[in-house]
A and B are shown apart, each in its own frame.
Chain A
């Protein structure tokens, strides 16, 4: 199967800024691969190197085993859907889609047939003679997709292609893109800063930060088993607490403040300073003074009704703020979500995860950027 990309020690330096720092990534053929990260993490630069718009400072880009790092973009069998689509404004939809076919030695008749076929695939039949300016954002996005797909590239690169669309359209197009990818079986390399988009669409994903890959794996793996606190923080709201860890018969005993908790997830063999992590939806709220292990008291500081759920901010003894998501099951939750209400938080051992202290905190990104040492690549 064609369309495998492997990056080996790929590095890009702009003057003295290292945008991509010796990353290794495997993008298997026929899969939907997502690079996720905050702006400035190097994901777009990596994509632009794969496309050929930027020359790597060093390292290899292997496309089906051949290093294409020095091949100019017009000779690479990869195509790109640009963030702002970059549809040629002086050409109509058909001419935009047919643009690249000129370099593919196809007859006029075949060209027309292919354009019609691909426009049908993206549900734009009959739009051949429109100019890009006469299309809505979503339609432009489809033309950009058609223009790239009609060339049957081995790999399709997508640079935040949904970023400019409104939330509703985004959701529809996410599913549609995923369906098209499955349908035609081309490798998609997708860049986004939207963790939900990444989780919804990807077969595999890599979380990037400061030019490094923090973690790569299936969305489930990365979401359920984040390896660093950056990944945990970036993939949705996570509660992180400082803790002292000590291995304890297959699990881990975590000392948080004055209390000891049992944690069964993550780096349970860690000893010493660590982070305890629990996702908001896994925190269970119980009436004040409920008995049992892995419980601690807290005060409701704020409760926000979100429709399908409540988001509850809880102040615990050490002064830290935890967030809990309480599903709205059509009946009032077991405890009253009033401001100032004392409750008990139950942190199930099966949901409490031990993270090795991370080098990069998501909220101290600027400080971390100046730090010279680098995170070990986690691939």
Chain B
């Protein structure tokens, strides 16, 4: 603990602890990714490098119908989720910013609830909702999409509101002052200024949707509504091949690429502080 006694000393112990933590969190993922490239059927013994589990003729991500179906369904859900959560989230954020009446604080808290509600609770609640209250929607793709929108919406709202707060009302007032009616204030000024937050929000919603297991699992119906995460969970105890590692790797890459894109775009337009907040949300 030299730095406790010597304020100029290097905090070596802290560096070691940090390094160990990073190793601990990255190594398992790295190993899982590594075995996606194994040339044998084992997920534990290295048998040489190959991409057979990605592109091979049988049982690979790109040729096995089950894996392909799961990947496709995952992406479809993600696109629907983003398509619904982003416009709704932007509208809500704009509405909340303008709301100057009683109940504003309550609405704010309610908006943040999904961020702290245990997902299993939300999953069960939504399941009951679709079974009892909206049996005509029932389980399946629409229910899964609505379920995902329910909790990703909050993230979009938080990100967009952060940006709205930091840009303030002055630009809108300037637009109005120069003769722009409310519609043009929104289209010509507010939305372009919100673009980085909208892109970041979309990326976060996309990543959350791809990663989600609990809600998506609860609201699924038959095999056609299986997503990558559900598939991984279901076959982990069967006779899995490295193809599972391969599909997980694909999902991981999509998520990482989306988040990296969002971060870069956001960083490009917004202040470093805001970007860091968004980065924190993404983790």
Contacts and interface: CB of A to CB of B under 8 A. Distances in A.
Interface residues of B, number: 19
B180 A99 contact: yes
B180 A74 contact: yes
What size tier do the contact residues of chain A reach? 20 to 34
A122 B182 CA distance: 29
Chain A binding surface, main DSSP class: mixed
B176 A74 contact: yes
Given A51-B177, A74-B177, A84 B189 contact: no
B112 interface: no
Contacts of B178: 74, 79, 99-100, 103, 147-148, 151
B193 A89 contact: yes
A51 B193 CA distance: 23
Given A72-B176, A147-B178, 17 more contacts: A51-B173, A51-B177, A53-B176, A74-B178, A74-B181, A74-B182, A74-B185, A79-B178, A82-B173, A82-B174, A86-B170, A88-B171, A90-B192, A100-B179, A102-B179, A104-B179, A148-B177
Nearest to B175: A99
Contacts of A87: 174
12 contacts: A72-B176, A74-B175, A74-B178, A74-B182, A86-B171, A88-B174, A89-B193, A90-B193, A99-B178, A100-B180, A102-B180, A148-B177
A103 B180 contact: yes
A73 interface: yes
Q: Give me the 7 closest cross-chain CB pairs, A-B, nearest first.
A: A100-B178, A103-B179, A86-B174, A73-B176, A86-B170, A80-B177, A74-B176
Contacts, number: 65
A88 B190 CA distance: 10
Contacts of A90: 192-193, 195
Nearest to A72: B176
Given A90-B192, A90-B193, A52 B171 contact: no
Among A51, A99, A148, max chain B CB count under 10 A is at A99
A163 to B, nearest CB: 14
A166 B185 CA distance: 32
Contacts of B175: 74, 88, 99
Contacts of B192: 88, 90
Nearest to A77: B179
B38 to A, nearest CB: 49
Interface string A256-282: 000000000000000000000000000
Among B170, B176, B179, max chain A CB count under 10 A is at B179
B199 to A, nearest CB: 14
Contacts of A100: 178-180
A73 B175 CA distance: 9
A88 B181 CA distance: 16
Contacts of B189: 88
Contacts of A88: 171, 174-175, 189, 192-193
Nearest to B173: A53
A52 B173 CA distance: 9
Contact of A73 (B170, B177, B184): B177
A87 to B, nearest CB: 8
Contacts of B182: 74
Interface in A55-99: 72-75, 78-80, 82, 84, 86-90, 99
